[in-house]
Copies of this chain bind each other. A is one copy, B any other.
Amino acid sequence: MARPRRNEHIRDELLERGIDVLSEHGYHGTGIKKILDVVNVPKGSFYNYFHSKEQFVSEIIDKYSTDLLERLDQYLEKTSDDPVTAIKTVYYTAIDELHEKGLKGCLMGNLAAEIAGSSGECRMAMKQAFELWKERFVVLIENAQEMDLLRNDLSPEILSDIFWNTWQGGMLRMKIDNDTEPLKKLVDVMLDVLYR
């Protein structure tokens, strides 16, 4: 029997809504039915679009990362700010958005904590997303080092890795304290003191 024709619009909408629901409820807290109800799709047809919940979530991780990186690239392309100011602008904007969206944190950090150990497929999607983010960040830090805006005794790779760690841990603290203010201070201390 031929598979029913897929509607790409519905597929995109499932991924889009999936980002919101997963950010709020996590992997195990998100029933596929919850997302299908929002998009108004009968449960049986989910498997016309995705083989499994795991594949669905790994595609959501791809989409979440691609959307963020596209916005980052667009901003970096047109800004005339120095690289340190550019990094600050990107992270201040992220903090404003965390605030607007109710401090849910980063979908990737949340899913890494919950399922990176149990889902190989999602773990690989996260690994790729991290590497793509790091490519951009290493260039920014390298440029800042060349302009003598950041310390030169550690490689851009190490400084990128530690910045990612600190930011992700900072979002966990934000969730525990229910407050975004320390995140802003964190970005400033990292770039103005520890990385200077």
Contacts and interface: CB of A to CB of B under 8 A. Distances in A.
B186 A165 contact: yes
Interface stretch (A13-21, A39-47, A113-121): A113-121
Interface in A167-181: 167-170, 172-173, 175-178
Interface residues of A, number: 49
Interface of A: 24-29, 102-105, 109-110, 112-118, 123, 126-127, 130, 153-154, 158, 161-162, 164-170, 172-173, 175-178, 182, 185-186, 189-190, 193-195
Given A24-B118, A109-B172, A127-B177, 17 more contacts: A24-B117, A25-B118, A26-B28, A26-B113, A27-B28, A104-B117, A105-B113, A109-B169, A113-B172, A162-B189, A165-B172, A167-B169, A168-B169, A168-B172, A169-B169, A194-B194, A194-B195
